[in-house]
Amino acid sequence: MLLAQISRSHDLKQLIDEGFEIEVKGGHLIVHHIPYVNNSQEIKYGKLITTLALNNEVTMRPDTHVMGFMGDHPCNKDGSIITAIQHSSPNQQISEGVIINHMFSNKPPNGYDNYHHKVKRYADIITAPAKSIDRTVTAQTYKVLECSEDESVFLYTDSNSSRANINRLNEKFKGQRIGIIGLGGTGSYVLDLVAKTPVDEILLFDGDEFLQHNAFRSPGAASVDTLNKRLKKVDYYAAIYSKIRRGIIPVPEKVLEANIDLLKGLSFVFICIDSNRARGMIISKLKEFGITFIDVGLGVNIAEENLVGSIRVTVGTSNKHDHIPYRIGAAETDDNEYATNIQIADLNALNALLAVIKWKKLCGFYQDLKEEHNSTFVINTGQLIHEDYTT
């Protein structure tokens, strides 16, 4: 399937959104799983096939009203041929495994507006007798459309973006190599969100194992069997997110001064760790490498019968990093709130959400009018405070 032709053509996207199984092959549009009745009054399934008129990979108005079909000639409920569309039976092979057994002709007064109009018209005519026999049959199966490595970083079509018409905006993420340092509570949610964007690669840095307590502050649900395997966090998450996309690269190591060069060449880094000393070293090197980053922090304490605290998202860019020393400590201190290690899944998720939204602003996906470089959410007041604006 040529995804570029489908994603840029409204009529083809509409067919996919409505659940038709379509394929673009050898200059033809092929629509699979079309139910019809044969001359023995049995329900069978065939394929609609039409030439595809394109200009710069975008569909034009259909250049012919005729439609090919692979299968027996569709019949009425009583087994008689549907003469309203009968035209010819060339039995012409157009590619390996695809043969046009019959050609149909049904021309509206003004022709067909687009390929959705054309496919829907022929599908309605052909499937009507089958539906009169069994009303559960349908040509709209919503089958998952798989993608090759050449077509997409995803293993199957991102139909969510096509339905929302934001494919063009998603182009802003392509080519990026993202690093996530720390796959604890917040880092795992960052991965969950970034994995659903078409960045080229996501490198996961963490030397720890995925243990029982991690299961209660991370996305999804880990089984007892999985926990007993004591997998490295990066391997556990790589296995999960490799089910939706390519380019997940596990690095089962803590980022130290000895291996800091692993970060060179990255487009962007999320720092999701709880050691001030380690983050101070990493931030210093990222500034040296000219890599933009976001550091997240979550500080929660028990106050009588409640939890209080705050969530922080701090951005560092080549243009602005003078605020970093005031927002992020470089050494361990007795009042390092994060060291209390009280982490709750909803706060981890919110911390990740705020961080990823800010990253998307930096990419130009979301509009950013204020260009804040530090945001703090205070739990007990509900305040979201933005500071350190670009001057």
Q: pLDDT tens, 204-242?
A: 999 999 999 999 999 999 999 999 999 999 999 999 999
In this prediction, residue 3 has a pLDDT band, given cuts at 50, 70 and 90, of low
In this prediction, residue 5 has a pLDDT band, given cuts at 50, 70 and 90, of low
Residue 182 lies in a domain: yes
My answer on whether 183 and 275 are in the same domain is yes
DSSP bridge partners of 25: 28
At residue 13, the pLDDT reads 87
Residue 143 lies in a domain: no
Question: Could you say which of 133, 149, 182 is where a domain stops?
Answer: 133
My answer on whether 49 and 178 are in the same domain is no
My answer on whether 181 and 108 are in the same domain is no
Whole-angstrom Cα distance, residue 317 to residue 180?
16
Element (H, E) at 189: helix 185-194
**336-365 mean pLDDT:** 87
**Phi/psi at 271 (5° precision):** -105, 115
- Measured in whole angstroms, the distance separating CA 243 from the mean position of its chain's CA atoms is 11
Tally the domains of the chain: 2
In this prediction, residue 343 has a pLDDT band, given cuts at 50, 70 and 90, of confident
pLDDT of 185 over the 70 cut: yes
Residue 162 lies in a domain: no
Whole-angstrom Cα distance, residue 306 to residue 299?
14
pLDDT of 335 over the 70 cut: no
Whole-angstrom Cα distance, residue 209 to residue 139?
47
pLDDT per residue as tens digits for the range 245-291: 999 999 999 999 999 999 999 999 999 998 889 999 999 999 999 99
pLDDT of 23 over the 80 cut: yes
My answer on whether 108 and 180 are in the same domain is no
Supply the range of the domain harboring residue 383.
169-389
At residue 2, the pLDDT reads 57
Whole-angstrom Cα distance, residue 391 to residue 370?
10
**287-305 mean pLDDT:** 93
Residue 112 lies in a domain: yes
My answer on whether 197 and 315 are in the same domain is yes
Who's near 339: CB < 8 A, 6+ residues apart?
A: 274, 332
Instruction: State the amino acid at position 341 in one-letter form.
Output: N
pLDDT of 123 over the 90 cut: yes
Looking at residue 330, the DSSP 8-state letter turns out to be S
Of 107-121, 131-145, 339-353, the range with the lowest mean pLDDT is 339-353
Who's near 90: CB < 8 A, 6+ residues apart?
A: 100, 101, 102, 103
In this prediction, residue 26 has a pLDDT band, given cuts at 50, 70 and 90, of confident
At residue 118, the pLDDT reads 98
9 or 70: which leads in pLDDT: 70
Element (H, E) at 119: helix 115-133
147 or 295: which leads in pLDDT: 295
pLDDT of 334 over the 70 cut: no
pLDDT of 337 over the 50 cut: no
pLDDT of 338 over the 50 cut: no
Residue 139 lies in a domain: no
* Residue 187 burial (10 A CB sphere; 0-12, 13-18, 19+): buried
At residue 340, the pLDDT reads 55
Question: Could you say which of 80, 107, 133 is where a domain stops?
Answer: 133
At residue 342, the pLDDT reads 80
User: Taking a C-beta distance cutoff of 8 angstroms, is the pair 103, 89 a contact?
Assistant: yes
In percent, how much of the chain has pLDDT > 70? 95
My answer on whether 84 and 36 are in the same domain is yes
pLDDT per residue as tens digits for the range 127-183: 999 999 999 999 999 988 787 788 789 988 787 776 677 878 999 999 999 999 999
My answer on whether 217 and 328 are in the same domain is yes
- CATH code at 365? 3.40.50.720
Residue 145 lies in a domain: no
Residue 302 lies in a domain: yes
The per-residue pLDDT of the chain, averaged, comes to 92
In this prediction, residue 331 has a pLDDT band, given cuts at 50, 70 and 90, of low
Residue 176 lies in a domain: yes
Q: How far apart are the first and last CA of the chain?
A: 48
What does the block give as tokens for 44?
A: 């069978």
At residue 27, the pLDDT reads 84
My answer on whether 254 and 384 are in the same domain is yes
